Amino acid sequence: MRPAVCFIKADSSETGSDMSDSVKFRFDVDGSNFTTAGQASVQVKKNLRELGIPAEAIRRVSIAMYEGEINMVIHAHGGVAEVEVFEDKIVIVLSDTGPGIPNIELAMKEGYSTAPDNIRSLGFGAGMGLPNMKRYTDGMKIDTELGKGTTITMVVNF
């Protein structure tokens, strides 16, 4: 995967924040190579450290984002990850054009998984992805449409 990182000064009216500006990172998550999954999360962790974000918030963002990245690779042939850093929170938006989630309630249950065996043999696909994303963030919203794709928005306060 080749992460395309860019810093964007986001306008407050676009982000809905009362902050005057923010820092934004954008990554293309390559869905063709499972072994490179996680590079965006690792890069985000590094970037957040450089910004002086508290360690626990970085950890939560990294875990949630990594789970999302893995999901995008397993189920959706990749996608786009955007991380926006505000003064008191971090907003992660993961977008893909994959098959969508047929039953969100079921997908949110720990242990429920539709991942194939080859993914399980790598230590993933245990049905912990979405539950972990929810557990380690302060807010999570799933917008999904069958055959169109899924967008997951997560917020971590600090």
Cβ-based burial of 150 (10 A; exposed 0-12, middle 13-18, buried ≥19): buried
Q: Is 13 in the site for another protein (CB under 8 A)?
A: no
Q: Is 27 in the site for another protein (CB under 8 A)?
A: no
d(CA 62, CA 42): 7
Give the orientation angle of helix 39-50 with respect to helix 55-76, to 10 degrees.
Answer: 160
Supply the DSSP string of 40-53, one letter for each residue. HHHHHHHHHHHTT-
Smallest gap, in angstroms, from Cβ of residue 14 to another protein?
29
Smallest gap, in angstroms, from Cβ of residue 12 to another protein?
30
Options 10, 24, 57, 62; binder of another protein; rule CB under 8 A: 62
Q: Is 135 in the site for another protein (CB under 8 A)?
A: yes
Q: Is 158 in the site for another protein (CB under 8 A)?
A: no
Q: Is 137 in the site for another protein (CB under 8 A)?
A: no
Q: Is 39 in the site for another protein (CB under 8 A)?
A: yes
- 59 membership: H or E segment, kind and range: helix 55-76
Length of the chain: 158
Q: Which residues bind another protein (CB under 8 A)?
A: 35-39, 41-42, 45, 55, 59, 62-63, 66-67, 70, 122-124, 126, 128-129, 132, 135-136
